[in-house]
Amino acid sequence: MSDPVLHVQGRILVSPQEERDELWIIGGRISYQAPVSAEVLSIRGHVLPGLVDAHCHLGMDPAGIDADRIEEQALTNRDAGTLLIRDAGTPVDDRWVQDRDDLPRLVRAARHVGRPRRYIPGIADEVEPEDLVDAVRRQARDGDGWIKMVGDWIDRERGDLAPVWPREALVAAVAAAHEEGARVTAHCFGEESLADFAAAGTDCIEHATGLTEETIDVFARQGIAIVPTLINIANFPDFAAAGAAKFPRYAEHMRDLYARRYATIAAAHEAGVPIYTGTDAGGSLPHGLIAREVAELITAGLPAAAALDAATWAARRWLGYPGLEEGAQADLVVYDEDPRTDVTVLARPRQIVLRGALVSR
């Protein structure tokens, strides 16, 4: 006996501009044409495409690296409505998640590419500048079309954030990634590294707290996306306090970046810089917090529609996945209330459909 057809009714948010009142899920795929005859299971509510966490680290959590917790973390994200994850670098092999129909879709960036003593120990593929191109090619071939680089970190001699790579090495590395068919993103807190990555032709930047009027203009002109991870930026005062005794200049810098975080993201949005949601789950934060990140974008000044777009329709297009289009495999989340008028409802999904199947919460 075939699976029942799912008849989804209510407010189907096909795009920021388009709304329908019903769809059917037939053989796991979306149809806007009613079947001639079938066993039908009805669902009703406000419907969005599956949410996107574009900065997540499976196999990592605040307790450290633990490959045995990947399934638990993936399920936590799924049950929060996150049905598409871009794993923005992990030291563990999580590719098996892609073989599980009950776990979120996963786009892997393989391991971070970093430099010795210039990132969290044990996380990155650590190389010196002369070996950067080879490392980038290695991780590009191991990932799913993305490379994650460490762009800046504290420099102990300077006592502050500083770029990790000489610009000439960075230019060659980004070119190599593009030759391998991979897009490049990078961890960047401070100002200097952003100009270097823009000059190298990067595709995306994580955090991007150091954006200035000048680099915002460059990012907008080049179409460089940012994933702000504002719920992680909230930890900057703690980072500053931890380093203040030894690196007071760094601590002051981190506090300043934190103080202007909302203004920075608002200015980037106003300039037309593409913005997408990411939680940085697996670093200092647990998994399943995508609703909080959407709310933070609104606090930063984005209209609710733009914040939802950053987590759904636009984010899925950016990563190469469909939303609620005719014929698409059905990944969607159903809510009791309209998230466009109350974004906090994103934290309370009522029903979740993943790969056309209704999954339990």
Hunting for tokens 């092999």 — which residue is that? Answer: 93
Summarised one tens digit per residue, pLDDT across range 113-148 is 999 999 999 999 999 999 999 999 999 999 999 999
Percentage of residues of the chain with pLDDT beyond 90: 95
Instruction: Assess whether pLDDT exceeds 70 at residue 86.
Output: yes
- The number of distinct structural domains making up the chain is 2
Residue 151's domain is classified under what CATH number? 3.20.20.140
**What's the mean pLDDT in 69-76?**
97
Q: What are phi and psi of 259, to 5 degrees?
A: -60, -35
Instruction: Assess whether pLDDT exceeds 90 at residue 345.
Output: yes
Q: pLDDT tier at 70 (50, 70, 90 boundaries)?
A: very high
Instruction: Assess whether pLDDT exceeds 90 at residue 61.
Output: no
Instruction: Assess whether pLDDT exceeds 50 at residue 253.
Output: yes
**Domain shared by 340 and 217, yes or no:** no
Q: pLDDT tier at 1 (50, 70, 90 boundaries)?
A: very low
Instruction: Assess whether pLDDT exceeds 80 at residue 289.
Output: yes
Instruction: Assess whether pLDDT exceeds 50 at residue 286.
Output: yes
- What does the H/E/C string look like for the chain? CCCCEEEEEEEEECCCCCEEEEEEEECCEEECCCCCCCCEEEEEEEEEECEEEEEECCCEECCEECHHHHHHHHHHHHHCCEEEEEECCCCCCCHHHHHCCCCCEEEECCCEEECCCCCCCCCCEECCHHHHHHHHHHHHHHCCCEEEEECEEEECCCCEEEECCCHHHHHHHHHHHHHCCCEEEEEECCCHHHHHHHHHCCCEEEECCCCCHHHHHHHHHHCCEEECCHHHHCCHHHHHHHHCCCCHHHHHHHHHHHHCHHHHHHHHHHHCCCECCCCCECCCECCCCHHHHHHHHHHCCCCHHHHHHHHCHHHHHHHCCCCCCCCCECCEEEECCCCCCCHHHHHCCCEEEECCEEECC
- Tell me the torsion sign for CA atoms 216, 170, 181, 322: negative
Q: pLDDT tier at 284 (50, 70, 90 boundaries)?
A: confident
C-beta atoms surrounding 176 within 10 Å: 19
**Domain shared by 28 and 111, yes or no:** no
Instruction: Mark residue 299 as left, alpha or beta (left: phi above 0; alpha: psi -120 to 50; beta: remaining).
Output: alpha
CA 85 – CA 195 distance, rounded (Å): 27
Specify the amino acid at residue 235.
N
**Domain shared by 155 and 196, yes or no:** yes
What's the pLDDT score for residue 36? 84
Record the tokens describing residue 28, joined without a space.
Answer: 């796991």
**Domain shared by 259 and 346, yes or no:** no
**Residue 185: strand pairing partners:** 148
**Domain shared by 304 and 334, yes or no:** no
CA 171 – CA 152 distance, rounded (Å): 15
Q: What are phi and psi of 226, to 5 degrees?
A: -130, 145
**Domain shared by 13 and 82, yes or no:** no
* Angle at 60 (CA atoms; ends 225, 179), nearest 5 degrees: 40
What's the pLDDT score for residue 2? 63
**Domain shared by 26 and 71, yes or no:** no
Summarised one tens digit per residue, pLDDT across range 8-53 is 999 999 999 999 999 999 999 999 999 987 789 999 999 999 999 9
CA 155 – CA 24 distance, rounded (Å): 55
C-beta atoms surrounding 188 within 10 Å: 28
Record the tokens describing residue 347, joined without a space.
Answer: 């934290």
Instruction: Assess whether pLDDT exceeds 60 at residue 361.
Output: no
**Domain shared by 355 and 252, yes or no:** no
Residue 29's domain is classified under what CATH number? 2.30.40.10
**Domain shared by 313 and 336, yes or no:** no
**Domain shared by 35 and 55, yes or no:** no
Looking at the whole model, is its pTM more than 0.95? yes
C-beta atoms surrounding 39 within 10 Å: 10
CA 33 – CA 14 distance, rounded (Å): 15
**Domain shared by 18 and 145, yes or no:** no
114, 150 contact by CB (below 8 A)? yes
Mean pLDDT, the chain, rounded, equals 96
**Domain shared by 346 and 214, yes or no:** no
Range of 335's domain?
Answer: 5-48+323-359
End-to-end CA distance of the chain: 25
Q: What is the largest CA-CA distance in the chain?
A: 72
257, 190 contact by CB (below 8 A)? yes
